Structure formats: C-alpha cells, structure tokens
A and B are shown apart, each in its own frame.
Chain A
Amino acid sequence: MSEPRTFTRRQILGGALVAAAAGAAGYAAVSRPWQAVRSGSASAVRRGEGILVLVTLYGGNDGLNTVIPAADPAYQRGRGALAFSPAEVHDLGDGLGFHPSLAALARRWKEGTLAVVRGVGYPQPNRSHFRSMDIWQSGVPDRQEVTGWIGRWLDTETPDPLRALSLGPNLPRLLQGATTSGSAVPSMSANGATPFGGALARLDRPAPGEPALLARVRQTGTDLLAVEAALAKAGPDASSPDRSTGPLAQQLDVVAGAITAGLPTRVYAVSLGGFDTHAGEKATQARLLGEVDAALDRFLTSVSADARGRHAVVVVYTEFGRRVAANASGGTDHGTAGPVLVLGEGVRGGFVGDEPSLTDLDDGDLVMTTDFRSVYATLLDRVLDVDPVTALGRPWPVLPFV
C-alpha cells in the first residue's frame, strides 16, 4: 500500500491537476467532468459495483477531538482540560493525530485505505442539530428539502426496495426520495419471518388512487416481504448478529452479511447517537469513538475477503463539529465544519482539503474549507457511478479520495 498522501488546496492548485471551479471558494478539489476517463490506478472501486456505507454520528461529533491538531497552541488554549497532548494521539502527520480511541483506524491510515477530508461543511452553518442534520442528509443547505440526496438518486433508478437499506426501525431522510424510498431493516432481525405474510401480500397490493399515507402503508408491507426474502439468504451474520458488541457493530454485522450474500443493495445507512457532548465530553467521546473504531475495523475486516465487499466505501459524518473553545461543563457547544472519514480497500488514503485555521475563526467557530456537496459528488460519481448532478442539482468538484 502507498503511504498516505496529502492533497491540499495549495498543492492541487499549484500542481498538474485542474483547479477547482472559480467562484467555488476555498476548498481543495479536482474539477472532473462527468464520465471523464479514469486514471487506471486511481480507483479500486469497479464501475457499477461500488457499495456505499454511510455512517451517521448523531449529536455533533467533536471533529477537533477526532482529528486532533494536538501540537497547535491555539488548540491547547481553546480546549484546556479537554485537549489531548501530541503524545496521546495517533500521529497522522501534518501536525494532526487521531483520538486515542481510534487505534484501528490509525492502522488503516498507515495502510493507506483511509482518507480524512478536512474542514467539511456548508455555507452559513446552522447550529441546530435538526436543521443541520437535515442539511447534511438532504444535501440542500439553502432551503427546506424533504428528500435526501440518496433518495433523489433512488428516484432516478428502477424502483427496488433493496437498492438502499437503512439499519434500524425508522427511515432517515437520507433515503427518502420524492417518488420512492429506501427500506429500513432492524439490526436485530432474529425475530424470524413476518407472520401471516401471505395475507399481508394480498392486503398490501397497490390500490390506485389511495391517499398517500395509506398507499405508503401498503408499499412498506410489500417491500418488507421482498426485503425479508432477500435477507433470508444473507446467512447467519444478518440473522443473528453478535449481541456482545455495540449497536453500531450490530448494524454493520447485518450489512456485512447482506454484502457477502450478494444482495443488490448499493447504499447502506447505519448510525450511532450520543455525540452531543455539552458536558463531560472526554469520557463520553472516548467510549463512542472506541465503539466506532472497533465496529468499522470489524466490518472492513469481514468484507475485505469478499469479492463484492472489497468495493465497499465507508463514509463517516456528523451534523457539525463543536466550538473551538470548551465550555465550563467539561464539554463543547455546537460548532461548524469537521472532518469526514472515508475508508475502504478502494479508498486513496491521505488528507484531502485544508485543515481549518484555529485562529482565523468566524465568531469562535471553524471556517469550512471543503463543501460537503463535493464529498457527495465524489461518492455519486466514483462509488454509485452516476452523474452527481441528478441528485445535487449542479456539478461539484470531485475530490481525489476514491
């Protein structure tokens, strides 16, 4: 594996790569027209076979204490007792290090299969969990939008309840389209097949002209039977996940089982909550990031031997980072931009984008350096193999992490 590389705005702009579109200020990116020729070694994700695994961290994970500028005096000043010393973090180079809990991810960084997209955010950051998560999941920062960016991709594909699966009881906005939506499967599906499925199949036949919510009830019943039939083939991993691990690992066990069973699913959505660390952050974040670290490592190990699983790309994001300055409760309040982690055999490891300045702040908050829609455009283009414009409404520079 190659050593992790760093793509910064300066290097990209100064190098042979084509500069980001003028006017799209301040992020490191490569302009890449849709369906441009792919450089041979650039991607191990084969066309049409990429599988996207989106990991949502609810509550606003503290990015500055995830990818940590430990040597920066401004970080030490702002964070005080919450700060980690350079000796405590897993060194990533560039003056940055992973949180001590992220040992397995640090190993994958060294192997070159983990990219850190730095300073990811959107213009005019909103500090509400709900509005900000809506923005991240819809991909639309400037107006209310009920569909998700994956949902709008689903709208353009032939309807298939298996195309996008969310783990957990309720469907996130992410997978909600205008005319179709993904399916939700419980992470603990050890309950066996749905009872009276035959009667349900008859009840839930489409009834044209029905009010939307009633039609939706019938649709989910029909989809359930299709999803269940497919998952029944997914083997022991999907039907009896290891109950000794945490909720994220349990969800990812089902995903691993579904991938190795050959389900046609292209997008999986999993999540972990509890990152809203206004108080007592150190212990809480250490525990949660430890769970993330173990769960992702376990998942990537289990799919790496699989011919399809090698094309899985895992993306970890949250609705916002936290303020640079800690509060008096041993925690941090809602902030703005943060790192997005991208992992997988087909991922080009290294830093992407510039680290936000810790001194040139906007009212105490980090200024974003990479627009989140560039991350999505890259995933649509390189992993889902579609024109990003259909889901994002306009082109965005594609980043060099896949």
Chain B
Amino acid sequence: MAVRDDLAHLFRRAAFGASAAELDAAEQAGYEATVDRLLALDSPDGPGDAIPAPVFPPLPSKDDARAAVQWWLRRMAATAVPLREKIALFWHGHFATSIEKVKSAALMVAQNEVLRRQGAGDFGELTLAVAKDPAMLVWLDSNTNKVGHPNENFARELMELFTLGIGQYSESDVREAARCFTGWTFDRRSGSFVFRPGQHDNGVKTVLGSTGNLAGEDVIRLATTHPASARFVAAKVWSHFAYPVAVDDPVLDPLVAAYGSSLDVAALLRATFLAPEFLSDAARNGLVKQPVEYVVGAARALGVDAGGAEVVPVLNQLGQVPFAPPSVGGWPQNGYWLSTATAAARARFAARLVAAADLSAVASATPAARVEAVARLLSVVWTPPTRDALAAVAADPKAVVRLALVSPEYVVA
C-alpha cells in the first residue's frame, strides 16, 4: 500500500488537498496509479462545469473582475479534475496577464479557457495560442506593434519569461522578433485573432540564429524548440510543483527527457510527480501554498463556499488575486507569501471560514482526540510544538480548527 503521507503531499501539489476518504481510496490504488488518475486530464468535469460561467454585460464594469474571480475559485473548489485547474493556475502565473490593463473580464476568462484546455499539451502550441490570445495581445501591446514602429514588449517577455530565460537571447533577438510579430491584433467585436498583412514587416529578420522573412509563428517555434527552452520550462514546473530550483539542477534531467521533442507538458508533470526527489523532505517543506491554493484548499476541506464575495478582499490582502498578477513576471514564491501582513490576513480568513463551517467531525471527537481529528480533516501531520499549541485550545472546536489553518504545517504546502 502506498504511504499515506506521500499521497497527501501529492494531493496538496497536484490538487487542492484531499479528504480522508480520497486518501483511503488512493491508498488502495497505489501511488503511481493515483498520479495517472490525477493526470487523466481529459476526464469530464461535471462538478466544475456545473459552476455557471460568469456573464458579462456589454459595457465592462468593476464587478466583472470580481465575478470572474469568484467563478474560478468556485470551479477550483468543485472540480473533479483538480490538476487541470492547478495547471491553469500555474500557466496563469507563467503567462501572467492582468485585467488591470486588459480591462475586459470576458477576454481574461477566454484566456483562462485556453490555459485550461491546452495547458497539459504541446508547449509550442500552448505558447502560440497564448501569443494570439486577445488578452495577451492587449497586455503586451502586440496590437499596437506595426511595421516601421515595432513595440518590443511581447517579444522581450516571450524570450525572457515565457520560453528561454535571461542570458539565452540577445537584445538584437528581441528587436528582430518584435518585427516578426507586427500586424498581430484582434477583432474587438468577435474577440478573435486577426493578422493584418499591411501592418506586417516583410523584411528579412534574424532571430535566435535563423534568418529570413520570419513570421510570428516562426519565432514561437524557434523559441519553444530552442535548446535552452526545455530546461527553462522544466525548472519552472518543478519550482512550482516540488521546490524552487535553478535551470542547471540535475533533478530536471528526467523531466527534460520526458518533455522530449514533442514538448509534452503532461509527460513533464508525470516525471515530476514520479521523481524520487518529489517525495523528499526538501519537497515536502519546500513550498508555501499560494493564497489561491490556501483559500480553495481550506474552503474545500471545510465544505464552505470558496467563491463568496468576501474572499476577493482576502486574496487581495494575501497578495494573489486571480486575473490580476502584480506584473508579467507573475507571482513570486515562498518568502513572498510570508509577511506579517499575510499572517494577519490568514488569521482573519481562518476565523471567518470556521464561523461558517460545519465542524461536527471535530466537535464530535473528545477534546483529547480533536487535534488528530483536525489533522485528518486537513490531511496534515502535526509537529510537536504545533500539537501542543492546538491541544491547549482543543476544548473549543472552532478555536482548534482556526489555529490549525494558520499553523506552519498547513501554510507550507
């Protein structure tokens, strides 16, 4: 039988945590079979699809962004295919696009669907789809990139943040690539990508060592198949699902091999979850839950609505509002989430969540057994200092659960 702690760790990273019943079933199935079940990303998602998609009025309003966030949070909490939502969240941080500039929740949700639909396929196709996505075209100014007056914003971030990393391309590559993307825009009414040949630079360009009348599609292909790209992508995936690493870390070797020449993201993820290092102490203690994971996971575990109107301000205080990353670099990790201010926000969130939750599973246990009942509820294992602190308040079921929600063992994924 698979080790329960390993499975709980897997569900924290590849899903939004697991209930005791889910862990029981996974123990029977085994670790590798559970990985494959989580990776069955084409499975129907009845509960996720049942969350009604937000409908936006023709004139954008301030409420649109909140409606989009609430929809996605509820979808994440309800989904039967949690890894697909985690992958969409991961790519949202990677191809980080913000409604602050895009100004259209409808375009943001359309991009979100691209990340959900194509997130585990061919990275080259995903990158191309994102490059042509209207929200991205607005976000990085591609829609004003015209022959004779190239705008470098997208070309630079494509190489620096999306495919290669600093040091793998030159300033000349950025300028030349920007010329290749001239004429890429979209139709405001239909929300579809449009190529305007009259605005395209048909001159000869040299990008990443290739010369010719290159098109934007050529640049995407050159960047995503560049020798440095596979390790760049593997490092990004490992850093977000296991623990932060640099691109030269040997732990990435089997991931790069699995990703292969078909740029297979699902295979890369499978190699990640099956790597021995994924179950190391470094991995178990290596990531702080992102606020979205924290909020959705806690709401799921306690059976409380993850997308209530009060959750958006909580995410704002924790520093991670979906559709509004702080910059095109996405959200930083780990230490970024641990400040005095986020500690206060977590405590307030925990108090409110517990007030709304049905805690009978904990309340029905004797005070002496409550600390372990909470561990089962949240699928965590307490260290002795936390166990002592929880035991001190175990007379009150609400007090023990809210304290558990801000414990280091729960905050660190």
Are A and B part of the same complex?
Answer: yes
Instruction: Point out residues on A near B: beta carbons under 8 Å.
Output: 58-59, 126-131, 161, 166, 168-171, 176, 181, 183-186, 191, 194-196, 199-200, 202-203, 205, 207, 210-218, 220-221, 223-224, 227-228, 273-274, 278-279, 327-329, 331, 333-334, 363
Q: How far is the CA of A129 from the CA of B389 in the complex (A)?
A: 43
Known: A184-B341, A186-B344, A195-B351. A130 touches B327 (CB 8 A): yes
A203 contacts B406, CB within 8 Å?
yes
- Number of B residues near A (Cβ < 8 Å) is 63
B149 contacts A327, CB within 8 Å?
yes
Tell me the nearest residue of chain A to B341, going by C-beta: A184
- Which residues of A are found within 8 Å of B393, using beta-carbon distances? 199
- Which residues of B are found within 8 Å of A194, using beta-carbon distances? 343-344, 347-348
A303, chain B: closest CB distance, angstroms: 23
A191 contacts B344, CB within 8 Å?
yes
Give the contact stretch, choosing among B55-63, B67-75, B122-130, B151-159.
B151-159
Tell me whether B118 is interfacial, beta carbon within 8 Å: no
- Which residues of A are found within 8 Å of B100, using beta-carbon distances? 274
- Which residues of A are found within 8 Å of B65, using beta-carbon distances? none
Of the residues B166, B337, B347, contact of A128 by C-beta under 8 Å? B166
A128 contacts B156, CB within 8 Å?
yes
A223 contacts B144, CB within 8 Å?
no
11 A-B pairs, CB-CB below 8 angstroms? Answer: A131-B166, A168-B319, A170-B341, A194-B344, A196-B347, A199-B389, A213-B285, A217-B408, A218-B408, A220-B338, A329-B141
- Which residues of A are found within 8 Å of B161, using beta-carbon distances? 130
Q: Apart from A169-B319, A199-B393, A331-B141, list 20 A-B contacts with CB within 8 A.
A: A127-B156, A166-B339, A169-B318, A184-B341, A200-B403, A202-B388, A203-B385, A203-B389, A203-B390, A216-B335, A217-B411, A221-B406, A223-B340, A223-B343, A278-B141, A278-B144, A278-B153, A327-B149, A328-B146, A328-B148
A214 contacts B343, CB within 8 Å?
no
A186 contacts B399, CB within 8 Å?
no
- Which residues of A are found within 8 Å of B286, using beta-carbon distances? 213
Contact with A along B57-91 (1 / 0, CB 8 A): 00000000000000000000000000000000000
B151 contacts A329, CB within 8 Å?
yes
- Which residues of A are found within 8 Å of B342, using beta-carbon distances? 169-170, 184, 220
A171 contacts B141, CB within 8 Å?
no
Tell me whether B173 is interfacial, beta carbon within 8 Å: no
A202 contacts B141, CB within 8 Å?
no
B347 contacts A200, CB within 8 Å?
yes
Tell me whether B326 is interfacial, beta carbon within 8 Å: yes
Tell me whether B334 is interfacial, beta carbon within 8 Å: yes
Tell me whether B275 is interfacial, beta carbon within 8 Å: no
Q: How far is the CA of A360 from the CA of B29 in the complex (A)?
A: 69
Tell me whether B392 is interfacial, beta carbon within 8 Å: yes
- Which residues of A are found within 8 Å of B383, using beta-carbon distances? 207, 210, 214
A205 contacts B151, CB within 8 Å?
no
- Which residues of B are found within 8 Å of A224, using beta-carbon distances? 340-341, 343-344
B281 contacts A211, CB within 8 Å?
yes
Q: How far is the CA of A218 from the CA of B338 in the complex (A)?
A: 10
B223, chain A: closest CB distance, angstroms: 16
The 7 closest A-B pairs by CB, nearest first: A328-B149, A184-B339, A329-B144, A214-B408, A211-B285, A217-B408, A203-B389
- Which residues of A are found within 8 Å of B160, using beta-carbon distances? 128
B145, chain A: closest CB distance, angstroms: 8
Tell me whether B402 is interfacial, beta carbon within 8 Å: yes
B335 contacts A185, CB within 8 Å?
no
Contact with A along B375-403 (1 / 0, CB 8 A): 00000000111101110110000010011
A330, chain B: closest CB distance, angstroms: 8
- Which residues of B are found within 8 Å of A205, using beta-carbon distances? 385, 389
Q: How far is the CA of A90 from the CA of B40 in the complex (A)?
A: 63
Tell me the nearest residue of chain A to B284, going by C-beta: A211
Most buried by A among B166, B339, B351: B339
- Which residues of A are found within 8 Å of B151, using beta-carbon distances? 278-279, 327-329, 331, 333
Tell me whether B257 is interfacial, beta carbon within 8 Å: no
B327 contacts A129, CB within 8 Å?
yes
- Which residues of B are found within 8 Å of A203, using beta-carbon distances? 385-386, 389-390, 403, 406-407
- Which residues of A are found within 8 Å of B411, using beta-carbon distances? 217
A101, chain B: closest CB distance, angstroms: 20
Tell me whether B279 is interfacial, beta carbon within 8 Å: no
- Which residues of A are found within 8 Å of B51, using beta-carbon distances? none
- Which residues of A are found within 8 Å of B20, using beta-carbon distances? none
Tell me whether B367 is interfacial, beta carbon within 8 Å: no
Most buried by A among B344, B385, B411: B344
Tell me whether B409 is interfacial, beta carbon within 8 Å: yes
- Which residues of B are found within 8 Å of A274, using beta-carbon distances? 100
Of the residues B319, B338, B339, B389, contact of A213 by C-beta under 8 Å? B338
Q: How far is the CA of A214 from the CA of B100 in the complex (A)?
A: 33
B179, chain A: closest CB distance, angstroms: 12
- Which residues of A are found within 8 Å of B388, using beta-carbon distances? 202
Q: How far is the CA of A127 from the CA of B337 in the complex (A)?
A: 26
A243, chain B: closest CB distance, angstroms: 14
- Which residues of A are found within 8 Å of B102, using beta-carbon distances? none
Those of B146-183 within 8 Å (CB) of chain A:
146, 148-153, 156, 160-161, 166, 171
Tell me whether B328 is interfacial, beta carbon within 8 Å: yes
A217 contacts B339, CB within 8 Å?
no
Q: How far is the CA of A273 from the CA of B152 in the complex (A)?
A: 20
